[in-house]
Amino acid sequence: MNKKIDTIKEIVKKELSSSSHDLEHTFRVFELACMLAKKEHTVDMEVVEIASLLHDIARVKEDSDSSGNIDHALLGAEMAEKIVRNLDYPESVVQSVKHCIQTHRYRGEMAPETKEAKILFDADKLDAIGAVGVARAYMIAGERGESIYIDIDLNSYMKENLLDGKINGRIKDISKHAPNVELETKFRYIPERLFTDTAKKIAEKRVVFMEDFFSTLKKEIDGSL
C-alpha cells in the first residue's frame, strides 16, 4: 500500500466512530471492491481503492444530524474531493472518486455510471447482506432502539412509513422499523440492483441465508421452534 493510501486510512480513522459503519465495514468494502474489480476489465484500481476507503467518510455526520438534512453520500463526495485533491492526485482521479461516492447509496437519487462507481456500489451492498448483514442490521437496530422483529402488513407499512410509499423508499420513522422489515423493503431486492455478475451471484446466496435466519427467528419468537 502506498503512502497516499496510508494517509487516507488515517483520515478515515479520525472520521468514523459509528459502530455499524465503522472501519471494519470500510475495510470489508475495500476488500470486496478490489475483488470485484479484478473480475472486471479496464477498471481503474486506484480509483476503486480510494473511493472504497472514503465512501462513508461523512456517515457519522449524517447519523449525528438531528435535522435529517445531511446525505452522507453527497457530503462525503465533497469531503473526499478535497482530501484526494490535497493529496495531489490527478483531477481525473478526483472527479472519478467523487462520482463513486455520490452514487454509492442504495436509496440515493444518483445512479453510478462508471465501472468504478458500479463496483463500489456492489461492494457496499454486499456488506449489507448475508451473515455480516444480519450482524450489522442488529447493530443498527440497537443504535436506533428498534425491535428485533415486527409483524407487519407490508403494503400498509410502505404507505405509512416509506417516503413515496415505495419499496426502497427512505424511512420516515425509524422507531417503527426492524431488521426483518429491512429484509422486506431492501435486502431481498439487492441482487437485482447490482451491476457486476460476480456480485449478483454472491448476493443471491447471502439473501437466502438472511431469509432462513428471519424465518427461524419468527418461529422462535412465536414459540414454535
3-class SS letters over 110-160: CCCCCHHHHHHHHHHHHCCCHHHHHHHHHHHHHHHCCCCCCCCCHHHHHHH
Per-residue pLDDT, 155: 77
Residue 133 and residue 110 share a domain: no
Residue 33 and residue 104 share a domain: yes
Q: How many domains does the chain have?
A: 2
Which stretches in the chain have pLDDT values below 70? 1, 17-21, 161-174
CATH number (domain holding residue 213) = 1.20.58.1910
Does an H or E element contain 190, and which? helix 190-193
Whether residue 120 lies inside any domain: the answer is no
Given 84, 115, 146, which residue is the final one in a domain?
115
Q: How far apart are CA 81 and CA 57, in angstroms?
A: 11
Residue 145 and residue 82 share a domain: no
- Cβ(45)–Cβ(31) below 8 Å: no
- Cβ(83)–Cβ(9) below 8 Å: no
Whether residue 203 lies inside any domain: the answer is yes
Given 47, 81, 115, which residue is the final one in a domain?
115
The residue behind cell 422499523 is 177
Residue 117 burial (CB < 10 Å; 0-12/13-18/19+)?
Answer: buried
- Nearest CA to 133 out of 92, 192, 70, 182 is that of 182
Residue 56 and residue 165 share a domain: no
Backbone angles phi, psi at 171, to 5 degrees: -85, 135
Whether residue 221 lies inside any domain: the answer is yes
What are the grid coordinates assigned to 18, written together? Answer: 459509528
CATH number (domain holding residue 81) = 1.10.3210.10
Residue 61 and residue 104 share a domain: yes
Residue 58 and residue 16 share a domain: yes
Residue 65: which domain range? 1-115
Per-residue pLDDT, 169: 57
Residue 138 and residue 56 share a domain: no
Which residues have C-beta within 8 Å of that of residue 179, sequence separation ≥ 6? 134, 137, 138, 140, 141, 146, 148, 149, 214
Q: Residue 212, Cβ neighbours under 10 Å: how many?
A: 10
Given 115, 139, 173, which residue is the final one in a domain?
115
Residue 133 and residue 93 share a domain: no
Residue 103 and residue 150 share a domain: no
Residue 142 and residue 40 share a domain: no
What amino acid is encoded at 2 in this protein?
N
Residue 200 and residue 142 share a domain: yes
Confidence (pTM): 0.89
Per-residue pLDDT, 172: 67
